[in-house]
Amino acid sequence: MAQHQGDRLLQELISFSEGGVSYAYRGIYQGRPVIVKKPGKFGATDWRKDYMYNEFIVLSQISHKNIVKLLGCCYETEVVALVYEFCPNQSLHYHIHTVDPRHRLSWKHRLRIATEIADALSYLHTATSTPIIHRDVKPWNIFMDERLTAKIANFGLSISIPPGETQVDSDVIGPTKIYSSPEYFTSFQMTEKVDVYSYGVLLLELLKGKPPGVPITHKGRETALVEHFSSILRADSDNLTQVFDVFILEEGNVEQLVACAHLCFKCIRLRAEDRPTMKEVAKELRKMGRCSSYPNF
């Protein structure tokens, strides 16, 4: 199938403290570049193999323009390999946090990307035969194609809600804690709203331009980005300029940024039942896009 080129990507697609779940390589398949993914350094005999098999099962039954496309798999060798479309413009994390001004995302692009991710998550939650929870929504798991179209990737932790059920019990192995909803680590009972919370943190990262794990100093004390944002919004929802990345604030469109901040706040509410659905989030973002002063949103 795909030929490994030995051209190791600069990062593991997903990392944990004990090592990589999977490694990604560039390859060529039917004359076009692809990504070939195989289990990490601890081999294919432990749960990493199950992780990749789960990803294969999920991606083989879904199709959306903002979800990375699975092109094939290879079980003929000792090590399982999955083959995906190649997204040449790195991860969303890179584009949010790069210091290279040529690659910084304008507000126009951030709003479009936020809408694309919301559409994909809405599809997973509502348009599949059983609702699929991604469980690890974060900028590292969003890849950008040649047109900077967002593609959600890394479905190894995804889980489906059984027919007739509204939630599913699960362990907490794997997801990145700073993007995970409070109930994820307390009740172990998940609904689609865990993705909504993670999406809200991602949206806040797009607005602020800082990773949620980096403390924010405000009035002499350090707080986490989510707490800092929530406290500002509760105190003065009409004066949110300190929340936004200076780079996008200089573009104007403050009214639109504030509307997006309020939507973000809804997504990161502590009670899952108080959060909107991803379908509602996507609808609101598309409305913002239509009202944008930018042409061809």
Active site residues: 136
Query: Which of 39, 92, 41 has its CA nearest to residue 203?
Result: 92
How deeply is 240 buried, as exposed, middle or buried, from its count of CB atoms within 10 A (0-12, 13-18, 19+)? buried
Instruction: Give the helix/strand (H/E) hosting 198.
Output: helix 193-208
Angle at 120 between CA 115 and CA 126, to 5 degrees: 120
CB neighbourhood size of 158 (10 A):
19
Q: What phi and psi values does residue 275 have, to the nearest 5 degrees?
A: -85, 150
Query: In angstroms, rounded to a whole number, what is the distance separating the alpha carbons of residues 200 and 261?
Result: 9
CB neighbourhood size of 177 (10 A):
9
